[in-house]
Structure 1
Amino acid sequence: LDDPGRARARLAALRRDPHVVGVRTLLHERSDPDWVLGPDADAGLALLAEAGLPFDYSTTSPAALRHLAELSARHPALRLVVDHLGKPPVGGGREDRAEWHRLIAAAAKHPGVHAKLSGLYSASGALDAWTPDEVRPFVEDALELFGPERLMYGGDWPISLLAGGYARTWEAMCELLAPLAPDDRAAVLGGTATRFYRLDPALLNTAHHAAV
């Protein structure tokens, strides 16, 4: 994304593959925390918006959420999804949660920003040390801020295997979403993702879609 010339040609090739439905960058692997705001990355994001491809915003720290308001303002047509809810401090203290809430709430004010309920593991220590009750307040906050129509479940495979197993994460999410009305629960568990990524129903049962 920070090489617009190559990005344009690469996107043209990727768009010919119906299984490619979005682009993801691991922001936490960049040495510059403000990389995504730079002119080259900005030009790359403009190309994504032009191509109609969404951008998965993946980070291991809530601090990166502070860029989302500016990115949304620069690229109002770009569909953004915050992977892992921006890594909230599951099992952390009240002040950490308040800071995460402030940042994710600012991002949620922009209608093009969505979020994934995924990767909600312990913020420190062993990945599998989380409990549904520790995750619950963050899911409730996300539902209040985004609504089911802008939230989607993500299985986070294969990392979920290190966090207690895929079945455990799925069952916990189903438990946390149980109070929702059936249509709202169906949206979070599939409907929102289908609409956001513009998935082809004809391919859903025969192939795997991915954000690359």
Structure 2
Amino acid sequence: MTLDAHQHFWHYDPVKDAWIDETMTAIRRDFLPADLEPVLAANGVEGCVAVQASQSLGETEFLLALADRHDFIRGVVGWVDLRAPEVSDQLARFADHPKFVGVRHVVQAEPEGFMLNPDFQRGIAALREFDLTYDILILQHQLEEASALVGAFPDQPFVLDHLAKPQVSNGMDPAWAHGIHRLADYPNVSCKLSGLVTETTDWQWQTDDFRPFIDHALSTFGPDRLMFGSDWPVCRLAADYSEVKEIVENVLAGLSEAERAGILGGNAQRFYGC
């Protein structure tokens, strides 16, 4: 199965979605399964994993309700307050849903030390009780802290979103490359080839701009721990769905058929259990 490991749905709200500013007119509207399903079909993608874009329990309920109505949504990475004393109760609220596969927090917006906070780490520890994954959404300067987090929980499956958002148009930063290498040393961490087209200056790019970043992810994580994600509809700021998928396919053209199939779906199915 070809599976998109990372996309979003939302009912656009200018207050809740304040991160979608005036420069992002292409995504300042609702994006729902009826918008995505024909796009997936046109690109030969059979299913997707819907990832939270808002930090509320209502967001998790919203995504799971969509998944109930649409078979092509194979899994949901939702949100709970991992810092809450009652985090296990929040997880238990959703744990029986077969498509609730993981949790994410928008750590890129949090202060230094957030991932090392005992309250947050208590929440990470609770994920194992419910056999849930954790998506790491960070920026480059947080890679070292992320390595400390994943090292403290060797039995917890983690996946890095968007390669920690490197500044693609500036070329590869050795600090980013080192941070990715350190994180990849932990076998419980996978990585999504996602979210790169919007990490470009004025959203202008050529396929070769992404090649060194994807090649570095491939050399550090290996083909068995990488997964394709479109980051739709956010990707629409810089590229359409087919372009995003073609970037990954073109850079990975030298891999074996089995390795490409893993990155384009099999690895995500195994990681998320969907």
Question: Aligning the two structures, in what range does the TM-score lie when normalised by the shorter sequence?
Answer: 0.7 to 0.9
CA contact (8 A) 1:91 1:122 kept: no
Pick from 56, 69, 76: which aligns with 2:147? 69
1:194 is aligned to 269
When residues 131 and 109 of structure 1 are mapped into structure 2, their CA distance, relative to the original with a 3 A threshold, is same
CA contact (8 A) 1:79 1:113 kept: yes
CA contact (8 A) 1:62 1:100 kept: yes
- Which amino acid letter does the alignment assign opposite residue 92 of structure 1? N
1:4 is aligned to 85
Structure 1 residue 89: Cα displacement: 2.2
- Which amino acid letter does the alignment assign opposite residue 207 of structure 2? P
User: 2: CA distance between counterparts of 1:69 and 1:126?
Assistant: 31
Pick from 101, 107, 113: which aligns with 2:183? 107
User: 2: CA distance between counterparts of 1:29 and 1:80?
Assistant: 19
Pick from 199, 216, 220: which aligns with 1:145? 220
Secondary structure at 2:175's aligned position in 1? helix
Structure 1: 4+ residue segments shifted above 3 A? none
2:23 is aligned to none
1:49 is aligned to 128
2:17 is aligned to none
User: 2: CA distance between counterparts of 1:183 and 1:98?
Assistant: 31
CA contact (8 A) 2:198 2:235 kept: no
Spell out, residue by residue over 1:98-146, the C-alpha distance to the aligned partner (whole angstroms, 9 max, x if none): 110000000000000110000112545323x122100001111111101
What is the identity percentage for the equivalent residue pairs of Structure 1 and Structure 2? 37
CA contact (8 A) 2:227 2:267 kept: yes
User: 2: CA distance between counterparts of 1:52 and 1:160?
Assistant: 30
Secondary structure at 1:21's aligned position in 2? strand
User: 2: CA distance between counterparts of 1:12 and 1:26?
Assistant: 21
1:86 is aligned to 164
1:164 is aligned to 239
Residue correspondence of structure 1 range 197-212 to structure 2 within 5 A: 197-199=272-274
Q: Does 1:15 align with 2:95?
A: yes
- Which amino acid letter does the alignment assign opposite residue 120 of structure 2? A
CA contact (8 A) 1:72 1:112 kept: yes
Structure 1 residue 74: Cα displacement: 1.4
Single out whichever of 38-47 and 162-171 deviates more from structure 2.
162-171
CA contact (8 A) 1:122 1:130 kept: no
Secondary structure at 2:170's aligned position in 1? coil
User: Under a length normalisation based on structure 2, what TM-score does the superposition of the two structures give?
Assistant: 0.68
CA contact (8 A) 1:27 1:58 kept: yes
User: 2: CA distance between counterparts of 1:33 and 1:163?
Assistant: 30
2:193 is aligned to 117
Q: Does 1:36 align with 2:115?
A: yes
Single out whichever of 170-179 and 190-199 deviates more from structure 2.
170-179
Q: Pick the structure with more helix per residue.
A: 1
2:202 is aligned to 126
